[in-house]
Structure 1
Amino acid sequence: MSQALALPIPAPTAVGSLEAYVQAVNRFPVLSQEEEVRLARRFRDEGDLEAARQLILSHLRVVVAIVRGYLGYGLPQADLIQEGNIGLMKAVKRFDPDRGVRLVSFAVHWIRAEIHEFILRNWRLVKVATTKAQRKLFFNLRSLKQDLGPMNSTEVQDVAKRLGVKPSEVVEMETRLSGQDVALEAPVDDGEEGLHPIAYLADGSEEPAALLEARESERLRGEGLQKALSSLDPRSRRIIEARWLREKDPATLHQLAAEFNVSAERVRQIEQKAMEKMRRVISATVTA
């Protein structure tokens, strides 16, 4: 099994709108403790994915509630929900029903951890805060500066010593924090004819005709991929999915060789042949 369970779980972008998604997840019944334990044991002892799916669906509302506390970071709510759902799936995979703890209490940690990791990967200023000391620097630099102007070398050395980071990291963080945003368009009452980003950031791909063409092409490729996968024998499909369609922790040739009791070279040959067949099917679908 992959790091996160590969189950057909509804996504915010698949139901039309966030409001529709929230309404959908709130319709899934809340499980009693007895039902939860029974399903968790079925998944743990028998590998019953349908039991895992029911556990996940009944807790999707928890993810939505937790995400509301992270809306101030400027990231799309749908993306935060998706990441939280991944954390929920990881929690279900690791949940032990015999410890006497409800799944919701266990899952909160995993949901928050996945959301935190997503924010740190995507929030521009926090990208440099990869260590505990750097995060401390990020949140404390403004209060440690003596004034609003740039720090001199003595001040840099002092801040670096107090926070346990390198002077170069203090300088880099100060540069990032002192950077100013640039207006995309010129102010309405601006009499100057300056060059603003809107003048050179036009994207022709946003034209309706181009968008329609791109969406249709994407739809055809998606249909072609499904058709191509269905054309493979079970072993070839398993190899392609494990090697190329996992979002995390793709399988190695040696792992699949051990699974099918063949050599790694044989797995590579099967993979190559399957990819060639899939290319032909996808090409035929797109050009049809």
Structure 2
Amino acid sequence: MGKSLQVIEHLSPGSNVNAYVQTVGSIPILTADEERELAERLFYQNDLEAARQLVLSHLRFVVHIAKSYSGYGLPLADLIQEGNVGLMKAVKRFDPSVGVRLVSFAVHWIKAEMHEFILRNWRIVKVATTKAQRKLFFNLRSQKKGLGWMTNDEVSAVAEDLGVDSAVVRQMEGRMASSDTAFDGAPDTDDDVVAWSPSMYLEDVDADPAMQLEESNWEERSQQSLLAAMGDLDERSRDILMQRWLNEEKATLHDLAAKYEVSAERIRQLEKNAMKKIRGAMTLEA
């Protein structure tokens, strides 16, 4: 396929798409017998010249398919190039013994490459990520009758045709209707417009290095103060706080009452006094 790749690069649409379309349109279409002979030479003998002829003779079909996706606002030249990649993949995998024409087999590979390109470039934020969402995206584009929002009846009809819930259709319609917005305001716009750019109201305070450093220092000081305050408690009070507040499995008042052979109310009083001492010590540290 190396030689065919060179030919495609040579004929790939550049600034003059019309000239490219005319060039590939002048390449003769293969008859069924000619196509089968070339396909067998490629499949059984790995004949690269046969692959080149198969690719060249089907470039016009890539152009035809690419034009059907012109409504997505993407350059026709880019769609054609992506489709050419799909065509070459199809030619490489084509088995002449199956008994179908190459164009019938290749159309799926051509569309797959174009679909992937459209989904990557139509929006900065992907509107469809799963296979089901991709199918819905392209089917919804083709079934929408106008630019406005679909009626409930239209949504129900599309949902029934595609075998999905109406809410899923509405969700995809909303994604498709949205548009990309620059995070920062354009430098040549006035202050009133810039004030409404996302960068002015989507600030993530937690990502501020100064705030992160201050919070980290505060947590470290708090931990040190807590450890120091715990060290000033007697062993029983310290153990009660540890088991009631700091251990993963919290002990109950009755558990500690049984351990120290006192009443649950006494454990509650010891806990309360210890907490009071802890708060007082940490307040002084602050």
TM-score by length of 2: 0.48
**Greater radius of gyration (CA):** 2
TM-score by length of 1: 0.48
RCO higher in 1 or 2 (8 Å CA, sep ≥ 6)?
A: 1
